Amino acid sequence: MSGLAPVPDAEHESVPIGSNDDVVRARQLVRALAQQCKLSLVDQTKLVTAASELARNTLVYGGGGVMRVGLVHRDGRVGVTAVFEDSGPGIPDVDQALTDGWTSGGGLGLGLSGARRLVDDFTLQTEVGGGTQVAITKWAR
Amino acid sequence: MPEQDTCTRLVELLTAEQESLGAAWVEAVSRTLRGRISLAELDRELRELYAALVEGLRGGGLDWRGDAFGEVRALLAELSRTRARQGFTPTETATSVLAGKDVLAPSEDTSAGDVRAYLHLSKLIDALGLFTLEVYAKTREEIISAQAEQLMELSTPVVKLWEGVVAVPLVGTLDSARTQVVMEKLLQALVDTGSDQAIIDITGVPAVDTEVAQHLLKTVVAARLMGAECIISGIRPQIAQTIVALGIQFGDIVTKSSLADALKHALRRGDAAVVRPGGRA
Ligand SMILES: Nc1ncnc2c1ncn2[C@@H]1O[C@H](COP(=O)(O)OP(=O)(O)OP(=O)(O)O)[C@@H](O)[C@H]1O
Ligand SMILES: [Mg+2]
């Protein structure tokens, strides 16, 4: 996929998402960075939860992929960006996928739409047969 | 010397001095284990093995995988498993077998033909040593996974808080496997204690995402099918706000911020119930 989404600073880390353990690891890494840039406890929890949702979608629907995560700086502010990327089947109808309660599996259908509400910036790029990339950012206040 | 003859000769050599060679083997091994296994036990173990080895050779082959060595393999597997469970190291375990090589070895006045026979025996014992290590490794793996399972059980204690009220405090990351254990234990505790109120405390859960929420909802539904009501307690402010933003709805499930509040609620609700098995009316 093209790299239009915000790319974290040079010191970003890549985590493979290939198992449930990887999802847990990804979550822990995001939490550590959120603490490092002093997000409030509520914002930490929101970001970690959003990352958890996207990591699991990458695993379950994308057939596995990678998370890149790091700190970002803009206009004197600092934040945490995480990009989830897979080369799975893609999402044919993005509006439908972002509808609360819609799921193609046995989920609650709230992960994607909920993640969007939990963060400050959210971009989704997807191509049928080409994979999916979701980038999220949460800024320190 | 054909294999058959080698075997016949080895059987002769090993049976002629079975008593003293067996004792030497036991002696050599007991030194490496430094009294952590009783001499009587070791003696029985190794003499059985010795006898089986002789029988195997009598069967006419040097292939340890063959039928003739079935008994040898069974004894070795048993020995490895016992050692692994008793906490002996892989080296100590393999040495029990490999020490046989020093004992069943040629001396200065052994004929050239016999030396060759001993060489074959030595190779055979090497192979049996490796087999022993393999069983040892497999047993360790089994022990470790059984311990992981036990730990999971231990880390989800279901406690009876009050007559008719059980509670389970959840701590750490909730994955599907753990949630399954929690659910089973909680439902079983409801039956065992004759309770109709269950409190699931999530104070120790760092984040509630849709997966965790779904597991919680399923547990509540299952408890209801058994005639019990669940209360979810320990919802901290940051978790509450995240749940709202995610859009998760707990419907008519009662949620409380603290375990104490949950218990109060459970007692009030429990008292209103008509008859509780094993409890007051
Ligand atoms: N990376 C992805 N690749 C392909 N399809 C995806 C991907 N992520 C999401 N989807 C599609 O979007 C739908 C909605 O995702 P969403 O995370 O909101 O719900 P869910 O995963 O089905 O349930 P849950 O509420 O447990 O997250 C999914 O059911 C799936 O069909
Ligand atoms: Mg999802």
- What is the topology classification, in CATH, of domain B3-148? Globin-like (1.10.490)
Confidence of residue B275 (pLDDT cuts 50, 70, 90): very low
DSSP code per residue over B112-167:
HHHHHHHHHHHHHHHHHHHHHHHHHHHHHHHHHHHHHHHHHHHTS--EEEETTEEE
Give the residue extent of every domain in chain B: 3-148, 159-273
Per the CB < 8 Å rule, is A45 touching B214?
Answer: no
Name the residue at shortest CA distance from atom 12 of ligand 1: A97
Question: What's the alpha-carbon Rg for chain A, to the nearest Å?
Answer: 14
Is the backbone of residue A131 left (phi > 0), alpha (psi -120 to 50) or beta?
Answer: left
d(CA B175, CA B183): 12
Q: What pLDDT is recorded for position A7?
A: 55
- The answer to whether residue B274 scores a pLDDT higher than 50 is no
Question: How many other CB atoms are found less than 10 A from the CB of residue A70?
Answer: 18
Residue B109 CB burial class (10 angstroms; 0-12, 13-18, ≥19): exposed
In chain B, which residue's Cα lies nearest the Cα of A25?
Answer: B173
Confidence of residue B157 (pLDDT cuts 50, 70, 90): confident
CB B241 within 8 A of CB A42: yes
Lowest mean pLDDT among A78-92, B37-51, B106-120: B106-120
Largest CA distance in chain B: 94
Q: What pLDDT is recorded for position A2?
A: 42
- The answer to whether residue B281 scores a pLDDT higher than 70 is no
Per the CB < 8 Å rule, is B175 touching A114?
Answer: no
Which residues 6+ apart lie within 8 Å of A38 measured at CB?
A140
CATH architecture of the domain with residue range B159-273: 2-Layer Sandwich (3.30)
Q: What pLDDT is recorded for position A12?
A: 83
Lowest mean pLDDT among A27-36, B57-66, B87-96, B264-273: B264-273
- The answer to whether residue B150 scores a pLDDT higher than 90 is no
CATH class of A13-139: alpha beta
- Decide if B38 touches A, using CB distance below 8 A: no
Q: What pLDDT is recorded for position B279?
A: 46
Of the candidates A24, A49, A108, the beta carbon closest to that of B242 is on A49
Instruction: For residue range B229-258, list pLDDT tens digits in order.
Output: 999 999 999 999 999 999 999 888 999 999
How far B174 CA lies from chain A's nearest CA (Å)?
Answer: 10
Q: Is there an atom of ligand 1 within 6 Å of A105 CB?
A: yes
Q: What pLDDT is recorded for position A127?
A: 96
Residue with tokens 């700086």: A73
Q: Which residue has the higher pLDDT, B212 or A8?
A: B212
Give me the amino acid identity at B48.
E
- pTM of the model as a whole: 0.65
Q: What pLDDT is recorded for position B153?
A: 62
- Characterize B190-212 residue by residue with b for buried, 16 or more Cβ atoms within 10 angstroms of its Cβ, and e for exposed: beebebbbbbbbbeebbbbbbbb
Give me the amino acid identity at B102.
D
d(CA A59, CA A40): 28
How far B50 CA lies from chain A's nearest CA (Å)?
Answer: 47
A26, two tokens:
């990804």
Q: Which residue has the higher pLDDT, B180 or B259?
A: B259
**Element housing A66 (H / E):** strand A65-74
Nearest-atom index, ligand 1, CA of A88: 3
Residue with tokens 């060679």: B21
Q: Which residue has the higher pLDDT, B146 or B266?
A: B266
Give the residue extent of every domain in chain A: 13-139
Q: Mutation test of ligand 1: which of A86, A91, A96, A128 has the most ligand atoms closer than 8 Å to its C-beta?
A: A91
Instruction: Number of A to B CB contacts under 8 A, please give it.
Output: 64
- Name all contacts of B46-49 with Cβ < 8 Å and 24+ positions apart: B46/B22, B46/B96, B47/B22, B48/B75, B49/B75, B49/B76, B49/B79, B49/B97
Confidence of residue B26 (pLDDT cuts 50, 70, 90): very high
Of the candidates B173, B176, B209, the beta carbon closest to that of A53 is on B209
- The answer to whether residue B75 scores a pLDDT higher than 80 is yes
Q: Which residue has the higher pLDDT, A127 or B151?
A: A127
- Decide if B247 touches A, using CB distance below 8 A: yes
Q: What pLDDT is recorded for position B158?
A: 86
- The answer to whether residue A63 scores a pLDDT higher than 90 is yes
Helices (H), chain A: 20-36, 41-60, 94-97, 111-118
- Residues A75-99, mean pLDDT to the nearest whole number: 96
How far B246 CA lies from chain A's nearest CA (Å)?
Answer: 4
